[in-house]
Amino acid sequence: LHIGVDQCIQKFLDVARQTECFFLQKRLQLSVQKPEQVIKEDVSELRNELQRKEALIQKHLSKLRHWQQVLEDISVQHKKPAEMPQGPLAYLEQASANIPAPMKQT
Structural domain boundaries, residue 49: 10-77
Number of structural domains in the chain: 1
What would the pLDDT profile of 55-98 be if each residue is shown by its tens digit? 999 999 999 999 999 999 998 888 755 555 566 666 666 666 66
Q: At what angle do helices 35-77 and 2-33 cross, to 10 degrees?
A: 110
> Is residue 94 assigned to a domain?
no
> Is residue 43 assigned to a domain?
yes
> Is residue 72 assigned to a domain?
yes
What would the pLDDT profile of 4-13 be if each residue is shown by its tens digit? 889 999 999 9
> Is residue 98 assigned to a domain?
no
> Is residue 56 assigned to a domain?
yes
> Is residue 67 assigned to a domain?
yes
- pTM for the model stands at 0.47
Nearest to 65 by CA among 55, 57, 75: 57
Q: What is the pLDDT of residue 77?
A: 83
What would the pLDDT profile of 44-54 be if each residue is shown by its tens digit? 999 999 999 99
Asked if residue 19 lies in contact with residue 11, where contact means CB atoms within 8 angstroms, the answer is no
> Is residue 3 assigned to a domain?
no
What would the pLDDT profile of 9-25 be if each residue is shown by its tens digit? 999 999 999 999 999 99
